Amino acid sequence: MKILLVEDDTLVSTALEKMLAANQYITDLATDGQTGLNLAKTGEYDLIVLDLQIPKLDGISLCRELRSQGYSKPILLLTVKGSDADIVAGLDAGADEYVIKPYAPEALLARIRALLRRSGAIVGYDFNASSQLSWGDLCLDLHSGRVTFGEQVIPLTATEYKLLELFLQNPDRIFNRSAILDRLWGFENAPTERAINTHIKEVRKKLKAGGLIEEIIETIHGMGYRLKPYPKNTVVSQVGETKPKIKGMAAINQVIEQFRDLLQEQISVLAAAKTAFLAGNIDDDLYQKAKYEAHKLAGSLGSFGYPEGSKVARTIEHLLSKRNRLTTEEIYRFSELVTALREELSKAPIPLVVTTEPQQKNQRVLAIDNDVLLMEQLLIEADAWGIEIKVARDLSTARSQITFTPPDLVLLDLSFSDSEAEGLTLLRELNEKSPRIPVIVFTDRNSLSDRLTVSRLGARQFLHKPATTEQIFRAICRGLQTANTEAKVLIVDDDPTVLTNLKALLQPWGLEVFTLSEPQNFWEVLIATMPNLVVLDLEMPLVSGLELCQVIRQDSQWGDLPILVVTAHTDAESLQQAFAAGADDFITKPVLGPELVTRILSRIERNRLLSRNQ
C-alpha cells in the first residue's frame, strides 16, 4: 500500500514515515500543499494523509482542488483543531475522515486501515491472520491453505484442516467434543460427538505419514483434546506478527531523541518571542513565527511522549491567536507558559506502546442485514470499537459464513428477508447447533409476543429498530463481553498445594483463577476479583467454608453468586449443613479433574442463562 503524506512538521512526518514503514506501508512525503497536489496528480497512491495547516496550499484547499478534478482516493485529514466548524469544513472539502492531534498512533493506524478497506484497497482483510501457524517444522499456511512438514505437503480434507488449525491457534486450550462441534461444523450435517474421534485419528495418521513422528494432538482422558507442547519447548508461532510491532514501537520512541535539536529550535523561537514581548518590541514576523511553532508543537508533542507539553503548546497557540495584541497580564502568562514548556521538554518522554492492530480483533461479528448504508457505516466505525465485522445480505451467505468461519457473535435482522420466519428458522438453528454463539436480534417489531418468541429461540439480546450505530455497537460489546470474557473463579482452601493443583487444572479451560489460602481475607479478595463462581473448602481454620457460605448469602449484591463446596465428608448431615448454609453444589475429596471442570463450567453457564432471562 502506498500513502502520500503531506505534512510540514519534520518531527511529525519523520515519526509517521517510520510508523507506516513498520506497518508495511510505502510513503512519499510532501512538505507543502502545492507539492502534495502535484504528487497526487502524477503518482498512484492508495491514500492521502494530509495536515490541515500546511504552507502554500492549506489542507482544505488541497482537498477541494483534488475533488474538483475527480480525484477519488481516500483522504485522511490531520488537524490540531477539534471544533465542529473545522471538522465540517474539512469533510465538506472532500476529506473522508479526520484525526485530531495529538493522536494515539494505534488509533491513526486503525483509521487508515478502515479507509483502505472501504475504498477496496484492502479486500477481505483478516485482522487475525498471520501467514503461518507452526509446530516445529509443521506449518499450516492460512493464505494458501497448505499444510507442510519440512518440504513434504500433507493432504488434508477441509474438516481435518480446520481441526488442525483450531488446535494450532489455541495451543494451551483443552477442547471437549462439544466445543469442537461448536467451532467447526455448521447447521446441516453436524456429526455426532463420536465422529470427532475419527477425524482426530485421521489427522494423526496423515501427519505421521507425512513424516511427523511426534504426537501433536494429545488426549486428556475424561476431558478432551489439546495441542501437545512441542518437545523442544518451541511455542506455536504466528510468523510475521511480532517483529513489525516491536519495530514500530522502537521507531516512534526513537524519533524524539533524533529530533531533540529541532525541538530546541522551536522552543528557541518561543523564547525569543518571550524576550521581545517583555521588552515591548516584538515584530509581526516573530509573532507569527511563534504562533506557527506553537501550533506544530501542540500537534506533535502529545503523540511522542509529552502529553502535558502538547497542552501547554496549545494554550500558547490560543493565546497568540487573539486578534488584538496581548495585554500586560497576557504577556506574563505567555512568559510562564514558555518556561513551563521548556521544563516539560527537559523531562524524559513517556514511553509509547504501539500496537499495529486494534486489540481483541479475534472478536468477529457477522451482521446479517441487507441495509447497505447501515452496514457500510458499521464497517467504517468497527475499527474504533475494536471489532471485525463481516456482512451477509442473505441467509444462504450467512449459513455459509457461519459454517466456515464461525463468528463470535451474530447480529440478525429479522425483517430484511421475504419471510420473517426464515430469520427465526436461522435463530433456531443457531440455538440448537451453536448455542455458544450469542445472537442479537435486530427488528422493527416490538411486542411482548415478539420478544418472547425471540427469547425462546435463544437470542441473547433484543435490539429494536431504528437504532443508532452507537446503540448497535454497545449491544455488540455487551454480547461479546458475556460470550468471550473468561469466567473468573475464586478458590478458597488453606492447603497451598490444593490451590496450585486446582489452578493448573482449571486455567486451560479458559478460566481466570484466583486462589486464597487465608480465609480471613475472603471479603476483600471477593470484592477485588469479582468472580463468577466461588469454590470453598468446608474445613478451614479461623473461618470455615460454611461460615463463608452464610456471609455470601446474606449480602444483597453477592447473594446469587454460585458456590461450590469441596469436602471430604459425604455423610447426609454434612451435606445438609452445606446446602442449608447456601452451597449450590458439592464435590468430594480427592477432587477428580473432569468432574470439577464439568461442575464449574455447567454452573457458570447456567447462572449466565438465568441472568439473561431475568
Cis before 466? omega within 30: yes
The answer to whether residues 220 and 227 touch, using CB atoms and an 8 Å cutoff, is no
- Checking phi first, is residue 530 left (phi over 0); if not, alpha (psi -120 to 50) or beta? left
Cis before 531? omega within 30: no
Q: Decide if pLDDT at 590 tops 60.
A: yes
- Provide the pLDDT for residue 479: 75
* One CATH from 1.10.230.10, 2.40.160.20, 1.10.10.10, 1.10.260.40 for 132-238: 1.10.10.10
> Residue 72: exposed, middle, or buried by beta-carbon count in 10 A (0-12, 13-18, 19+)?
exposed
User: Each residue of 91-104: b (16+ CB within 10 Å) or e?
Assistant: bebbbbbbbbbbbe
Rounded CA-CA distance 183/177 in Å is 10
The answer to whether residues 440 and 461 touch, using CB atoms and an 8 Å cutoff, is yes
Q: Decide if pLDDT at 62 tops 90.
A: yes
- Mean pLDDT over 254-272 rounds to 75
- Mean pLDDT over 333-356 rounds to 75
Q: Decide if pLDDT at 380 tops 60.
A: yes
Residue % of the chain over a pLDDT of 90: 10
User: Which CATH code is given to the segment(s) 364-484?
Assistant: 3.40.50.2300
Q: Decide if pLDDT at 289 tops 60.
A: yes
- Provide the pLDDT for residue 61: 92
Q: Which residue has the cell 506478527?
A: 241
* Superfamily name with CATH number, domain 488-613: Response regulator (3.40.50.2300)
Please state which of the ranges 99-108, 160-169, 534-543 shows the lowest mean pLDDT. 99-108
Select the more confidently predicted residue: 78 or 221: 78
- Provide the pLDDT for residue 37: 92
Select the more confidently predicted residue: 237 or 350: 350
Please state which of the ranges 15-19, 196-200, 304-308, 541-545 shows the lowest mean pLDDT. 304-308
Rounded CA-CA distance 276/264 in Å is 18
Domain ranges of the chain: 2-119, 132-238, 245-345, 364-484, 488-613
Rounded CA-CA distance 499/566 in Å is 12
Q: Decide if pLDDT at 534 tops 90.
A: yes
Strand ranges of the sheet holding 388-392, from the earlier edge strand across to the other edge = 388-392, 364-368, 409-413, 439-443, 461-464
- Provide the pLDDT for residue 102: 74
Q: Which of 425, 466, 426 is nearest to 444 (CA)?
A: 466
DSSP annotation of 303 reads G
User: Which CATH code is given to the segment(s) 2-119?
Assistant: 3.40.50.2300
| Top-confidence range, 285-299, 355-369, 589-603 | 285-299
Q: Which of 379, 492, 381, 590 is nearest to 392 (CA)?
A: 379
Q: Decide if pLDDT at 186 tops 80.
A: no
- Provide the pLDDT for residue 243: 37
Q: Decide if pLDDT at 129 tops 50.
A: no
Mean pLDDT of the chain: 78
200-236 confidence digits (pLDDT tens): 989 999 998 888 888 889 887 767 788 888 764 433 3
* One CATH from 3.40.50, 3.30.420, 1.20.120, 1.10.3470 for 245-345: 1.20.120
Select the more confidently predicted residue: 285 or 414: 285
Rounded CA-CA distance 549/555 in Å is 10
| Neighbouring C-alpha atoms within 13 Å toward the C-beta of 195 | 12
Question: What is the largest distance, in Å, between two alpha-carbon atoms of the chain?
Answer: 96
Rounded CA-CA distance 20/439 in Å is 37
Residue 460: other Cβ atoms inside 10 A: 21
Q: Decide if pLDDT at 245 tops 70.
A: no
Confidence grade of residue 451 (pLDDT, cut at 50, 70, 90): confident
Residue % of the chain over a pLDDT of 70: 80
Select the more confidently predicted residue: 437 or 144: 437
Rounded CA-CA distance 410/159 in Å is 23
Confidence grade of residue 28 (pLDDT, cut at 50, 70, 90): confident
Domain 2-119 shares a fold with domain 488-613:
yes
Select the more confidently predicted residue: 213 or 271: 271
- Provide the pLDDT for residue 408: 85
Close Cβ partners of 473 (under 8 Å, ≥ 6 residues apart)? 378, 381, 382, 385, 387
Q: Decide if pLDDT at 119 tops 80.
A: no
Rounded CA-CA distance 63/53 in Å is 12
- Collect contacts of 215-218 with beta carbons under 8 A, ≥24 apart: 216/135, 216/138, 216/167, 217/167
- Provide the pLDDT for residue 6: 94
Q: What is the 3-state secondary structure (H, E, C) of 411-424?
A: EEECCCCCCHHHHH
Confidence grade of residue 411 (pLDDT, cut at 50, 70, 90): very high
Element at 134 (helix H, strand E): strand 132-135
DSSP annotation of 365 reads E
- Mean pLDDT over 34-40 rounds to 90
From residue 108, give the alpha-carbon distance in Å to each of 97, 114, 386: 11, 10, 13
470-508 confidence digits (pLDDT tens): 888 888 877 776 554 457 899 998 877 778 778 877 776
- Provide the pLDDT for residue 246: 38
251-260 confidence digits (pLDDT tens): 455 555 666 6
- Provide the pLDDT for residue 166: 85
Q: Decide if pLDDT at 361 tops 50.
A: no
- Mean pLDDT over 310-329 rounds to 82
- Provide the pLDDT for residue 190: 57
577-588 confidence digits (pLDDT tens): 888 888 888 887
Which triple of cell numbers denotes residue 109? 493506524
